Structures are given as C-alpha cells and as structure tokens.
Amino acid sequence: MAFEHILFDLDGTLTDSYEGIAKCVQYALSYYGIEENNEDNLKRFIGPPLWESFHMFYDFPEEKAKEAVLKYRERYNTVGVYENKVIAGVPETLKTLYDNGRKIYLATSKPLKLANVVLEYFDLAKYFTFICGASLDFSFEDKASIINYVLENQHIEERSTALMIGDRKFDIIGAKQCGIKSVGVLCGFGSEKELREYKADYIVPEFSDILNIIME
C-alpha cells in the first residue's frame, strides 16, 4: 500500500466555496469603501491565509488586514459558510478510500471550527480520522505548519506513505516542505500552469481521478 495516509485541502478541493468567500470578501472590503466585482481578484483569496490576501492585494497594513478578516467573519460565520457546494465525485471517492482502509485527514487554512461545520453540513466528517484547521487568532495558519501538525499528531513517521491533495500552489509548497508527495486537482481554483510551476507530483483533471494514484 504505497499511500496509506491521505491529506486533503478543503476549499477548492472538496468543496466549491467561491460564492461564500467572494461575497464575504466584498462585504469586508465595502467596510473600507472598496467595491470589488472582478472575479479573478476575488478568487485570489482562496488558498492563502485571509489576512495575507488583504495585505498583499489591497496594501492593508497587517493590523488593518487582520481587522478586515474579522469583518469577513461577521458574514462568513453565519451565512457564507453555507454558500458552498461539494465538488463532483467527492463523497463517492472519500467513501471508496475509507472502505479500502485509507486514513483520511483534513489539512486546511480555514479555521478549524468552520472546517468542522462544512464537513458536518455535507455529511463528510464521518470519513475523516483527524481534522486540522487554522486558529482564529492568526497564530497557526501556514499550510506547511498545518500539514506537519497532522503528520506529527497522527504519528505518520514514514512520509512516503502520505499524500497531500489540493488545488493551489500553497498545498504543493506545503507538501514539499513536509517531505510528502502531492496531487494537484484541476476541479478547484488553481490552474494547470500553477500546479506544474510549483511541481505537483501528480495532476488530475477530476477529483475521482486521485483513485488511480492512490489505489495502484
């Protein structure tokens, strides 16, 4: 069994969360008098820690960027988290992995509390051995740190048995920093160009195609 421990990103990998994230980013920006309707600009918020996105894309100083995240959460925690849908093939694929003895983990930069809400809402939590998400105080949200926490918490010492599944460069970079292989899925928000540039070990067009790699 080559890959026994399967780590998943959430946004853009298991669920299409664009609507909720985009509307909440717009809500936060509007507080500062900024109107943003460009879809490409809004999609940039999916993947990295939110405060970094406000900082990088709108030149917000760190404290203002973190304040913007709190404004974002005002809407997201009650409304935006449910403006979401499961990506095609996800429930069936997770069930297949689970039924075949693979250990399934979540490694997301979304706050842990909200990640749990999403998985429970879509009845996916039952497949996961362990769920790891970011802290609410911005102290724990780097993707490599989150992946490494899963590996250490679950005592996965043989890194060659672990595989990270994600849709953005942050997932690929984090996996490499932790010494595990990665799969880039094209059903999310990252492009094939991005995934190749950051050297994903595998790239698949559809989520269910990961079975061809894991079940070899």
- The rounded distance, in Å, linking the Cα atoms of 73 and 78 is 8
Contact, 49 vs 143, CB < 8 A? no
Give me 69's structure tokens.
């995240």
- Residue 105 to residues 8, 48, 206: CA-CA distances in angstroms? 6, 19, 20
Within the chain, residue ranges assigned H as helices are 18-31, 39-43, 50-58, 62-76, 90-99, 112-121, 143-153, 169-177, 192-197, 210-214
Q: Is 9 a catalytic residue?
A: yes
Contact, 13 vs 167, CB < 8 A? yes
- The rounded distance, in Å, linking the Cα atoms of 73 and 128 is 25
State CA 22 to chain mean position distance.
15
> Which of 9, 16, 167, 171 is an active site residue?
9
Please give the span between the terminal C-alpha atoms of the chain, in angstroms, as a whole number: 8
| Catalytic machinery residues | 9
